[in-house]
Amino acid sequence: MARKLDITVKMGCKVDCRFCPQKLALSRYFKDNPKRESVLSFENFKTMVDKTPSDVQIVFSGMCEPFLNEHCIEMIEYAANAGRDVDVYSTLLGMSMEHYQRLKKLKLHIFVLHAADKDMNAKIPVTDEYLKVLDSIAEDHKNGSFHITTISVHGDYHPQIVDIMKKVPDVPVLREIYDRAGNIEDKDGITTYVKEEKKGALACSKCNGLKLDINYILPDGTMLMCPMDWGMENVLGNLLTESYEDLSEGKIKQDYRAKMSSEDAKILCRLCHASQPLNVYKKAEAKAKFKQSIKKLLGRA
């Protein structure tokens, strides 16, 4: 799996889903400085993309719906036109029809649609504009001019979108809600969570084992080690002022790896759905590599 920079374009997501630790993220981000930069500027986004190696994928997801930043579409265009693999995860809140027409022209690596559900677990406002954009996306997926990789919906579809979603029966649907490594206190009966701390050496199935190279970027350039770290416990540094290489292989990550390899050092991974026993991860990794080499050999034959 490629290494990724997952961009938070803004602090404070007004979708405010029932299963999202927004309060925790806001209280930690502004704890020491209430005036900290809350919106990522286009200039700073460009600086950070330009500083990262070209194989690092740029992901629009993070701690906020990406289209709630008015420059989101320019950012996506910039990264895609720079030849980067770009993943977009969106509820469509803030995405106008004009934004969608521009998005559609780009070659995206992944587009994940977060859809409105009947119980409003994801509190996506079902407005006329939302329905129009959603319908265009579904039609375009059907006629092959746009591709929805996955749909994430936390319950049954909202009654107003049921007919639209019938146009995309071939898209895989994810319904599970995780508690982000114990970061949601009021699980409200809707999340899947790890009930007992995992013991022993662990690896991450989401962030490439012990590489831990799926990192979050916050609006002021802060780089967090892991996508579940909504309490901001593991800050690697600031990508606007430091190099990607220094942040990626610095002391914080090395110390964290040592804790992952220990029996029971206190770390987020012990309560995270994405962690696995290290030996299980290594076996799966070796199997995947073996399969890959067989494929290559067959390809050559």
SS3 296: helix
The residue with tokens 């982000």 is 180
- For the CA atoms of 202, 205, 211, 214, the dihedral, rounded to the nearest 10 degrees, stands at -130
CB 214 → ligand SF4: shortest distance, Å? 7
- Residues ≥6 apart with Cβ < 8 Å to 161: 115, 116, 126, 131, 134
Find where tokens 């299963």 sit. 19
3-state secondary structure of 16: coil
Residue 204 in contact with ligand SF4, rule: CB under 6 A = yes
> Which of the ranges 32-40, 163-171, 204-212, 277-285 carries the binding residues for ligand SF4, by CB under 6 A?
204-212
Choose among 13, 151, 175: nearest CA to 93: 13
Single out the residue of 5, 63, 72, 148 in contact with ligand SF4 (rule: CB under 6 A): 63
Nearer to ligand SF4, 52 or 275 (CB): 275
Single out the segment in contact with ligand SF4 by CB under 6 A; choices: 42-50, 165-173, 206-214, 288-296.
Answer: 206-214
Nearer to ligand SF4, 5 or 181 (CB): 181
The DSSP call for residue 228 is: T
Kindly tell me which residue out of 40, 92, 164, 207 binds ligand SF4, with binding defined by CB under 6 A: 207
Looking at the Cβ atoms of 12 and 37, the one nearer to ligand SF4 is 12
208 exposed, middle or buried (CB, 10 Å; 0-12, 13-18, 19+)? middle
Torsion of CA 144, 112, 12, 212, to 10 degrees: -140
Residue window 243-272: x/- pattern of binding to ligand SF4, with contact defined by CB under 6 A: -------------------------xx--x
CB within 8 Å of 22: residues ≥ 6 apart: 12, 13, 16, 63
Sequence-ordered alpha helix ranges (H) in the chain: 22-29, 42-51, 72-81, 97-104, 128-143, 162-165, 244-248, 251-260, 278-300
Q: Which segment (128-136, 199-207, 215-223, 242-250) binds ligand SF4 by CB under 6 A?
A: 199-207
Whichever of 139 and 178 has its CB closer to ligand SF4, that residue is 178
Considering beta carbons, is residue 95 or 212 the nearer one to ligand SF4?
A: 212
> Is residue 221 left, alpha or beta, with left meaning phi > 0 and alpha meaning psi from -120 to 50?
left
Q: Least distance in Å: CB of 168 to ligand SF4?
A: 20
N-term to C-term CA, the chain: 26
Find the binding residues for ligand SF4 in span 11-40 (CB under 6 A): 13, 15-17, 20, 22
73 vs 56: CA distance, rounded Å:
19
Which of 7, 49, 79, 228 is in the footprint of ligand SF4 by CB under 6 A? Answer: 228
Choose one: 38-46, 59-67, 100-108, 246-254; the region binding ligand SF4 (CB under 6 A).
Answer: 59-67
Size (the chain), residues: 301
- Rule CB under 6 A: say whether 181 interacts with ligand SF4: yes
Cβ distance to ligand SF4 smaller for residue 13 or 88: 13
> Is residue 91 a contact point for ligand SF4 (CB under 6 A)?
yes
Which residues of this protein are in contact with ligand SF4, per CB under 6 A?
Answer: 13, 15-17, 20, 22, 63-65, 91, 122, 181, 204, 206-207, 212, 226-228, 268-269, 272, 274-275
